[in-house]
Structure 1
């Protein structure tokens, strides 16, 4: 059964004078899906978010969000979406709790939701702290909490874990996967391919304004798996890299039959290596 489509992009292009920021972009996001838009800085990721959320108009093509043309987004649509971007912020003179209470009232959200959410993002013990005193990671979590306070149908995340330590990033990942299970659609832009592999159902690899590949992380890694080899660690500590040839397969079968194998792993490329193979450029 086809998922309820929350965002659909048809042949979107954006031209800034002589510069082409986006070139014929196509994809869609359904309910309970995390779709990653992956590429280096300047690839067109943020421009895409601005277009689909009505902050910027495309040169050509159509974007439909929650059934409405992105060029005609009204206040009712904004109440059904959440956005975390470089422009997102909070009131520094207010406490963590006061920040969320203010937006709860603004969005007609029950006040009890504030404490519930602070617990969810790990900020309960900092609820009385002035927002200006938060660390970068705590500030990121406050911004995320504000974005999901009203349980939006679709959440836009522009590099949500940029600059935060691995432990904080792990917490954000767990929260996003929980939101996905609750049915929230998530549009994630990042240049962190490991993050995308872990979180995304589908990924679009974008370079110089153009989507160069689209599919699940596993599909793309298998598609560009030219090596066709396996790393085998035996119980005696010996390591072997074996190719997918009849002689090697026979050897692996012998190891298996004699219970000598500790671990065995295939060597398909990472998303980062796929990006390099497709574009000839490294992510920076």
Structure 2
């Protein structure tokens, strides 16, 4: 559904690239996670793929359309849920969706059906400007499904939502994927990526550092981490060390030699821990 080759982009059109030499493919029917901290280049790549930014260098095919020459038909096949809600404040929830549905040349989903799906039943005649941040986010999410997209771009789909609503959103994503929808998920939330994604790409400073499945990453790194609980200056501390990287092995030995150890055990690596080990960067 997506093929990207040697993609680079500079906002100033100089040699300072926000993304450089990006290469990846997203297979039909998979959930592909694009993971990285703020400023890593996630949104830049996503905006190029959805036509919000013009392609400068490289190649990209989205839903079988070459984005060098974007066709209107491509937008009938894709949906986009933005992290920052951009609904019309003076229109009601239903009016927002009804207006958006008129932009497509394909059959669209009933507005009330979508509002009910995202937990906004009974709010269809309330102006979006009166909505909370979380309700606006749900309205944006609902809008992205109105044309029943084959390829669905989701940017931080659970941000700002309480746990119950976030769980509902994740179930919708899983259901759509089971129905055959391909999903490109942009996030810095490693927990949602771990739960939903078939494969993930780690992006830092505009470059992809790794692409693999969460399962393979855990198999590769899971038995190579040790969590140690120890006493230092009369305080209990907990740290996790890699048994592969030399600097971690040395630090672990120092803790063992110099401090009282309370517990020590191997642990399954989280995606966040793997991300930090692979990229040397945190997610903030």
TM superposition score normalised by structure 2: 0.80
Q: 1:15 — aligned with what?
A: 10
Q: For residues 200-224 of structure 1, what are the alpha-carbon distances to aligned partners after superposition, in whole Å with 9 as ceiling and x for unaligned?
A: 1110011111111111111112212
CA distance in 1, matches of 2:21, 2:224: 32
Mapped pair 1:56 → 2:91: no
Mapped pair 1:223 → 2:220: yes
Mapped pair 1:275 → 2:270: no
CA distance in 2, matches of 1:71, 1:112: 30
| Contact 1:50–1:56 (8 Å) recurs in 2 | yes
After superposing on structure 2, the runs of 4+ consecutive aligned residues of structure 1 that deviate more than 4 Å are: 108-112
- Per mean C-alpha deviation after superposition, the further-off stretch among 99-108 and 66-75 is 99-108
Q: Runs of 5+ in structure 2 lacking a partner? A: 228-264
- From 124, 148, 151, the equivalent of 2:121 is 124
| Contact 2:42–2:186 (8 Å) recurs in 1 | yes
CA drift at 1:135: 1.3
Q: CA 1:111–1:158 in 2, change beyond 3 Å: closer, same or farther? A: closer
Q: 1:32 — aligned with what?
A: 29
| Contact 1:37–1:203 (8 Å) recurs in 2 | yes
CA distance in 1, matches of 2:107, 2:5: 37
Q: CA 1:110–1:59 in 2, change beyond 3 Å: closer, same or farther? A: closer
| Matched position secondary structure for 1:101 | helix
CA drift at 1:228: 6.5
Q: CA 1:105–1:59 in 2, change beyond 3 Å: closer, same or farther? A: closer
| Matched position secondary structure for 2:37 | coil
TM superposition score normalised by structure 1: 0.80
- From 175, 195, 199, the equivalent of 1:198 is 195
Q: CA 1:155–1:52 in 2, change beyond 3 Å: closer, same or farther? A: same
User: C-alpha root-mean-square deviation of aligned residues, in Å?
Assistant: 2.4
| Matched position secondary structure for 1:20 | coil
CA distance in 1, matches of 2:10, 2:29: 32
Q: Runs of 5+ in structure 1 lacking a partner? A: 1-5, 231-264
CA distance in 2, matches of 1:123, 1:31: 31
